Chain A
Amino acid sequence: GESVGLHLPTLSVQEGDNSIINCAYSNSASDYFIWYKQESGKGPQFIIDIRSNMDKRQGQRVTVLLNKTVKHLSLQIAATQPGDSAVYFCAENTVGGADGLTFGKGTHLIIQP
């Protein structure tokens, strides 16, 4: 079956450093990829998305890169802050509409002071 996975369950970075969270996917037909952030005790929140016809998209302190050749997605967070500590999920949308979201397991980002 198709799957979306994250390379590392936990990533620890120093406050102020940049962090990169990776995601591998297997369905080349995916149209959209979405990154969610889930803080402790809260539900997942949308961070940024990218369409399959793009390679890069930037938001506020976040950048998503898509490499369709190797089916790899990454989330870069610049100048990490304590509030960035959370679990980050990637999700892919293969059939259109929210029914088609397939989620990865998540990477726990820990910001060290």
Chain B
Amino acid sequence: ETGVTQTPRHLVMGMTNKKSLKCEQHLGHNAMYWYKQSAKKPLELMFVYSLEERVENNSVPSRFSPECPNSSHLFLHLHTLQPEDSALYLCASSYRDSATGELFFGEGSRLTVL
């Protein structure tokens, strides 16, 4: 139990489908993040939410749409994805003003786009 729970763990979707990834944190943190992890590449920060407001969007294509209804929940809505979007999507949470920047990660949602 990591304190950050992601569902589903695995998702296969076609390029015309619409699906959503869900993340929930039980750690009382005030910031949540979506990262993309592709093979042989560093973790890529996609979105940052602090106190439910989006504070960073690293030029992510509009086919990825985040939603943060409260400080404990984070969604990533997916539509008309491309095969190159296949990756492990990691949710993380933290205290936004943490001096160390320590992130607490979920176990990820493995996405395959056909």
Query: Hey, which bits of chain A sit against chain B, CB under 8 A?
Result: 4, 9, 31-32, 34, 36, 41-46, 49, 89, 91, 93, 96-106
Contacts and interface: CB of A to CB of B under 8 A. Distances in A.
A98 B31 contact: yes
Contact of A98 (B6, B41, B94): B94
B99 interface: yes
A106 B104 CA distance: 17
Contacts of B97: 96-97
Given A43-B2, A44-B90, A98 B42 contact: no
Contact of A45 (B95, B98, B105): B105
Q: Pick the 5 closest A-B CB pairs, nearest first.
A: A43-B105, A93-B101, A98-B94, A103-B43, A103-B42
> What bracket does the count of chain B residues touching chain A fall in?
20 to 34
Contact of B102 (A34, A103, A104): A34
Contacts, number: 75
A36 B48 CA distance: 20
B101 A4 contact: no
A4 B111 CA distance: 26
B60 interface: no
Given A96-B99, A99-B48, A105 B105 contact: no
A93 B100 contact: yes
B103 A98 contact: yes
B42 A46 contact: no
A97 B107 contact: no
Contacts of A101: 45, 101, 103
B22 interface: no
A32 B100 contact: yes
Contacts of A46: 102-104
13 contacts: A32-B99, A32-B101, A34-B101, A43-B4, A44-B43, A89-B43, A91-B101, A98-B33, A98-B103, A101-B103, A102-B42, A103-B42, A105-B40
